[in-house]
Amino acid sequence: MARFKKDTKSGTPKINTASLPDIIFMLLFFFMVTTTLRETQLFVRTQLPFATEVQTLERKSLVSHIYIGPPFQTRIFGTEPRIQLQDQFATVDDIASFISAEREARAEAERPLMTTSLKIDRETTMGIVTDVKQELRQVNALRINYSTARGEVPASPRR
C-alpha cells in the first residue's frame, strides 16, 4: 500500500505561463495597428447613406473632412443641419480658409491629389450641400468624395 502514497505528495502541476505576455502584446499590437484614432470630436450626427458603387478612399493623409448634419445637442444648437470643420461649428464662408490651411499643410507636389471627403447625414437637404460644393469649386478643391456606407440602397427613401 505504500506505493500509492507518492501521488498525494505532489500538488497540482504548474502550468507554464511564459507565453502569456506574448499573447497580451499580440492583443496590444493588433489594436494599435487597426484602431483609427479619431482626431476630431463630432458635434453633428453623420449617419451616412448607402451606396453600392463605392470606391475606397486611399491616401488618408491627403483627405480633409467636412461634416454636415444636425447637431447632437439639439437643446443648445437646434436641429437645423450645421457644418463642422475640424473640431468646431463653421459656416459656408469658413470653408475657403479651411481648404487653404489644409493645402498649406501638405507638400506642394501632393496638393493636386487632395480630396475633400463630405460626411453628410442622410436626412440633410441638398441646399446646404450645394452651397458647400459651390464654395469648394470657388477655391478649386474639385476632387470630392461623398462618403457613404457600403450596402444596398433602401427601396425608396422618404415617401
Partner 1 sequence: MARMRPEINAGSMADIAFLLLIFFLVTTTMDVDVGITRMLPPPIDPNAPPPPPVRERNVFVVLVDRHDRLMVEGQITSIDRLRDVTKEFLLNPYDDPSKPEKRIEEIPHLGEIEVSRGIISLQNDRGTSYEMYISVQNELAAAINEIRDEMSKEHFGMKFSDLRDQELIDAIRHAVPMAISEAEPKDIGG
| DSSP H or E stretch at residue 68 | strand 63-69
Given the complex with partner 1, which of 3 and 61 has the nearer CB atom?
A: 61
Given the complex with partner 1, which of 88 and 130 has the nearer CB atom?
A: 130
Q: How far is the CB of 12 from partner 1 (least distance, A)?
A: 7
Query: CA 75, CA 41: separation in Å to the nearest integer?
Result: 18
Question: By the 8 A CB rule, do 121 and 146 touch?
Answer: no
Cβ-Cβ contacts under 8 Å for 23 (sequence gap 6 or more)? none
Q: How far is the CB of 111 from partner 1 (least distance, A)?
A: 15
Q: How far is the CB of 1 from partner 1 (least distance, A)?
A: 28
Of 144, 141, 39, the closest CA to residue 99 belongs to: 141
Contact residues toward partner 1 (CB under 8 A) are 12, 14-15, 17, 19-20, 23-24, 26-27, 30-31, 34, 36, 49-57, 60, 63, 115, 117-118, 120-127, 129-130, 133-134, 136-138, 140-150, 153, 156-159
Q: In a 3-state reduction of DSSP, which class is residue 36?
A: coil
Q: How far is the CB of 106 from partner 1 (least distance, A)?
A: 17
